[in-house]
Amino acid sequence: MYDNPVIGGFHPDPSVCRVGEDYYLACSSFEYFPGVPIFHSRDLVHWRQIGNALDRPSQLHLPAETTASGGVYAPTIRHHDGRFHLVTTNVSGRGTFLVTADRPEGPWSDPIWIDLPGIDPDLAWDEEGSCWCTTSGNQVARIDPAEGKVLEGPYPIWSGTGGKYPEAPHLYRVDGWWYLLMSEGGTERGHAVSIARARSPRGPYEPGPVNPILTHRGTDRPVQSTGHADLVQAADGSWWMVLLGTRPRGFTPEFQVLGRETFLIPVRWEDGWPVAGPVEERHCAPAAWHPLPETPARDDFDAEALAPYWISPRSRPDDCWSLTERPGWLTLHATGPTLDRPGHTFVGRRQQHHDCRVTTRLDPGSGRAGLSVRMDEAHHYDLEVSDGRVRVIARIGPLRQCVAERAVPPGPLTLAIDVRTHDVLPPTATGPVTEPLGVSGRGPDTLSFSAGGVLLAQLDGRYLSTEVATGFTGRVIGMYVTEGSAGFDWFDYERPAT
């Protein structure tokens, strides 16, 4: 058995390629820097992030006016002629571009810009070595990947069965046919995967006999919004599909808080067409693929550089953070006075489980700093320390409110945020328990905020969901400073025992 999702949390639009017995996967990153996380696996189930394709300002420029859910959309990763190629679109910048690398960990090249409209670009090479780039719309063009020049086309090709937003096109050459895998119906509950084929990349394409080949729309399955898929053939000849999906929870219309996640399903071929789905939260697979036990993800900030899973909205200037000013600590310097507008200092990681616990040891000094659970500038919950007091602050749309406050002693303080799908007290909570503020039991989860082992407040998680905040991302939990400087001794993310 293996458990889905194989990469939990805000890791949407997965694209995968195989090199020998190794698999490499890339995901969208939107307004976050560094951009496009790169993962490695030997079995398609156990994935480890090995870097980010866009980790330099020369590769990824996200100006301050970049909106939430702007930035980098839908990469495709491929390996050709001994080199890795990754193509994607910066919708807040110049558009579609290509980067290359000898090793998937990087360094990746500076952008090679491609003058093609649309998003969700794909790369495929024919038997003559020509490179074909397909984009949403759907259209295909022959390009020079070394210079980004369009050599032929673009040609209009099959745009699906009539569902809205035909997108995520991928081309594959299999047994003399060119297969066009694409998604339609929108990336919400109506998402679906469809297929067509042709003898040439230019077309004409004939649709598959049964479309869509995968969708969960109109079902009560726990995994929803299934789409934006990519195919890969394993070394043993079997075929697999990676795709995005969501796991909404709570009372109707249900709320998804983790964002769109990466799922894995087997694919079989019948009469020359791929057959896939449905997506289960647990799938049968060879015994060797059984997931290993999960361990807490703790960072003591003893390394020379930040781990690749740490991300920041839009940019992370070198002068706003340091691992050397105070060895063994992450020191953050304020670059903006509030989390409610772009330009602040925030270093976080994706929330990857519905139930989790985050703790950190904060030395606020004379600054204003803390932990935040973030969807965007207008939707976040903060556990903040300044002036000898700790506060729980809720920002929900146009409203900003301090919902709890108490005095704390000077010096380092342990902060904790517990996220639970059932109303239970965090294990360190002491003192009297009051009725949770705004918690009705109909939301997807409850967030509990503690400082020094004392419970301060509990908040309803539905206000930090895609259905409320809108957009394409999920929750990111991290450390911030909005005045002066502050130090973080460690950061611990763990999934509680069930």
Buried b (16+ CB within 10 A) or exposed e, 38-76: bbbbeebbebebebbbbbeeebbbbeeebebbbbbbbbb
Residue (of 84, 440, 498) closest to 294 by Cα position: 498
DSSP 249: B
CATH of the domain at 361: 2.60.120.200
Same domain, 285 and 305: no
Q: Which of 252, 270, 289 is a domain's end point?
A: 289
Residue 464 dihedral angles phi and psi, to the nearest 5°: -110, 60
Token look-up 């616990």 returns 357
CB 32 within 8 A of CB 312: yes
Q: Are strands 282-283 and 2-3 parallel, antiparallel or unpaired?
A: antiparallel
Question: Environment class of residue 204 by beta-carbon count within 10 Å: exposed (0-12), middle (13-18) or buried (19+)?
Answer: exposed
**CA 367-348-470 angle, 5° bins:** 110
pLDDT of residue 367: 94
CA-to-CA distance for 272 and 229, rounded, in angstroms? 19
pLDDT of residue 422: 73
Facing residues of 389 across strands? 386, 407
DSSP 32: E
Residue 488 dihedral angles phi and psi, to the nearest 5°: -120, 120
Domain of 369 in residue numbering reads as 297-494
Same domain, 252 and 389: no
Same domain, 152 and 28: yes
- From residue 248, how far is each of 115, 216, 458, 485 by CA, in Å? 38, 13, 21, 38
Same domain, 275 and 340: no
pLDDT of residue 257: 98
pLDDT of residue 435: 43
Take residue 295 and report the two structure tokens written for it. 């361990």
Same domain, 411 and 484: yes
Q: Which of 289, 307, 341 is a domain's end point?
A: 289
Same domain, 336 and 189: no
Q: Is 13 a catalytic residue?
A: yes
Q: Is 304 a catalytic residue?
A: no
Same domain, 219 and 268: yes
Residue (of 135, 171, 176, 177) closest to 156 by Cα position: 135
CA-to-CA distance for 198 and 155, rounded, in angstroms? 14
pLDDT of residue 261: 98
pTM: 0.94
Work out the number of other CB atoms within 10 angstroms of the CB of residue 199.
12
Regions of the chain short of the pLDDT cut 50: 287, 292-293, 423-438
Question: Considering 55, 120, 122, 167, which one is annotated as catalytic?
Answer: 167
> What is the tally of structural domains in the chain?
2
Q: Which of 235, 263, 289 is a domain's end point?
A: 289
Element (H, E) at 342: none
Same domain, 120 and 249: yes
pLDDT of residue 498: 52
CATH of the domain at 99: 2.115.10.20
Facing residues of 350 across strands? 476
